[in-house]
C-alpha cells in the first residue's frame, strides 16, 4: 500500500518511513522541512534500499496536497506534520493552532476529495491535561489541557471524531503518544531539533557531546519521588511499530479508534539523567531551573488496549533508549549537519 507520510522527514516520520517499508508498504513523504532536514531523505533511502518519493510542501497548501493525491495512488495517510514543543506553544499559540488544526483540516479535505478514507493521526498524551489518576487509559478524561500544543491536539481529535461520526465508512485512528526518545539502532536517523531542544533526551545528548554547557532541569519541587517531572518514555522504534500495527489491524475497520502508545512505566528526569550517566561512565553537568509554563508533575500510560487490540507492546528497555540516543548523537555530533 502507498502511505502518505506527512512530516515524513521529521523525527518520528522518518522512522515510520523505514518501518512502513519493512512491513511491505511504500511511504510517500510530504514535508516542508520546518523542523527536519533534506538529508534525511538519503538516509531513509539507505536504510530502505529503495528511492523515496518526496514532496516538499506544507499541509496548509491545498493545491500541493491535491497534486500529491492526483499523482500518487494513496491508500492511507499517516499524519505526523505538526509543531510539537510545549514551551514554544505557550509563546506562539497562533502558529500552533494554524499549523496543527488548520493544517489537519486541510489535509482531511484533500483526503475526502481524493476518496482516501484511512487516517492515522499523531496525537499526544497532552490531551489528558494534568491527570487526576495515573496510569492513564483511553477512557481518562480529555480536554483539560495545560498548553496550546495540547489544546491543538485535543481540538484536532474532536474534529476527527465529529468527522468520523458523519462519515461512517472512514477509518480514523488517534494514537496518543507519551514521550518518544531513542533512535534507529543503526544511528543513521534520530532526533535533531532546530535550535535549543525542547525535549529532554536531545538536550541530554547535546550536553553529553559538548554542544551545550549543562542540562537545565525545569522544576525539582513537583510532588514526585525526587521532585522532578515523571513521564512515560517510549522508544521511537516501538512507537512507529504501533503505527504500522494500527494501519494493518484497524485500517480496514470503519470508525474512530483510540490508543495510548507508551510503556506503562513512569521515569523521572533525574532517573533519565542517571541512566545516561551510567551509559557515559561520567556525570553530566546539571542546572536546576524554575518550572516551565504548561508542564505537569507526572504522566504515564496504561497501554493495555493497544496490546489487546493491535497485538502491540513496547519492547525496548530504558537502557536501549538511552544507548540508541547516545549512539545517534555520537555518530552525528551536529545532527544532520554533521
Task: Tell me the HSE value of 26 on the side-chain side, using a 13 A CA sphere.
Answer: 12
Residue 269: all three cell numbers together: 528526569
**Helix 269-280 / helix 200-209 crossing angle, nearest 10 deg:** 30
| β-pair partners for 268 | 230
Q: What are the strands, taking DSSP E only, across the chain?
A: 2-6, 26-31, 53-56, 76-79, 118-124, 171-177, 179-181, 215-218, 230-231, 233-235, 255-261, 267-268, 286-289, 298-299
pLDDT at 222: 97
Question: d(Cα 163, Cα 157) in Å, to the nearest integer?
Answer: 10
Quote the CA–CA distance of 126 and 157 in Å, as a whole number.
12
Q: What's the CA gap between 277 and 84, in Å, rounded?
A: 27
Spell out, as residue ranges, where the chain has pLDDT lower than 50.
none
What CATH topology corresponds to 2-183+234-263? Rossmann fold (3.40.50)
Residue 149 to residue 301: CA distance in whole angstroms: 19
Note whether 306 and 175 are within 8 A (CB): no
**pLDDT of 303:** 97
Tens-digit pLDDT profile for residues 96-151? 999 999 999 999 999 999 999 999 999 999 999 999 899 999 999 999 999 999 99
d(CA 269, CA 169): 43
Q: Helix (H, G, I), strand (E, B), or coil: what is residue 15? A: helix
Cell numbers given for 217: 532541569
Alpha-carbon distance of 110 to 182, in angstroms, equals 33
Per-residue confidence (pLDDT) for residue 75, from 0 to 100: 98
What would you report as the CA-atom Rg of the chain, rounded to the nearest whole angstrom?
19
The residues assigned a catalytic role are 149
The strand pairing partners of 218, in sequence order, are 289
Identify the pLDDT of residue 194.
Answer: 85
pLDDT recorded at residue 137: 97
Amino acid at each position: 500500500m502507498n502511505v502518505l507520510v506527512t512530516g515524513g522527514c521529521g523525527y518520528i516520520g522518518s522512522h515510520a518511513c523505514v518501518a512502513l517499508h519493512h512491513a511491505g508498504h511504500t511511504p510517500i513523504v510530504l514535508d516542508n522541512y520546518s523542523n527536519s532536514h533534506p538529508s534525511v531523505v538519503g538516509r531513509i533511502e539507505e536504510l530502505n534500499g529503495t528511492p523515496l518519493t518526496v514532496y516538499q510542501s506544507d499541509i496548509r497548501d491545498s493545491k500541493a496536497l491535491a497534486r500529491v493525491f492526483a499523482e500518487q495512488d494513496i491508500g492511507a495517510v499517516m499524519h505526523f506534520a505538526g509543531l510539537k514543543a510545549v514551551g514554544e506553544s505557550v509563546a506562539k499559540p497562533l502558529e500552533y493552532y494554524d499549523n496543527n488544526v488548520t493544517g489537519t483540516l486541510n489535509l482531511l479535505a484533500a483526503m475526502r476529495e481524493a476518496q482516501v478514507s484511512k487516517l492515522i493521526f499523531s496525537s499526544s498524551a497532552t490531551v489528558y491535561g494534568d491527570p487526576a489518576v495515573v496510569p492513564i487509559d483511553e477512557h481518562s478524561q480529555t480536554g483539560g489541557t495545560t498548553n496550546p500544543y495540547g489544546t491543538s491536539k485535543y481540538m484536532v481529535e474532536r474534529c476527527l471524531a465529529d468527522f468520523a461520526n458523519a462519515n461512517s465508512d472512514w477509518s480514523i485512528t488517534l494514537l496518543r503518544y507519551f514521550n518518544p526518545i531513542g533512535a534507529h539502532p543503526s544511528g543513521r536517523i534520530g532526533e535533531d531539533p532546530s535550535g535549543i531542544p525542547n525535549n529532554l533526551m536531545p538536550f541530554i545528548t547535546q550536553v553529553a557531546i559538548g554542544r551545550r554547557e549543562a542540562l537545565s532541569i525545569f522544576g525539582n519541587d513537583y510532588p514526585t519521588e525526587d521532585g522532578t517531572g515523571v513521564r512515560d518514555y517510549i522508544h521511537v522504534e516501538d512507537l512507529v511499530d504501533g503505527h504500522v500495527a494500527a494501519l494493518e489491524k484497524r485500517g480496514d475497520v470503519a470508525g474512530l479508534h483510540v490508543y495510548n502508545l507508551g510503556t506503562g512505566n513512569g521515569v523521572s528526569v533525574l532517573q533519565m539523567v542517571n541512566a545516561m550517566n551510567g551509559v557515559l561512565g561520567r556525570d553530566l553537568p546539571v542546572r536546576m531551573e524554575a518550572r516551565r509554563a504548561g508542564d505537569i508533575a507526572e504522566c504515564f500510560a496504561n497501554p493495555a488496549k493497544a496490546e489487546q487490540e493491535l497485538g502491540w507492546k513496547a519492547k525496548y528497555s530504558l537502557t536501549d533508549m538511552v544507548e540508541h540516543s547516545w549512539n545517534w548523537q555520537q555518530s552525528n555530533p551536529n545532527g544532520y549537519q554533521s
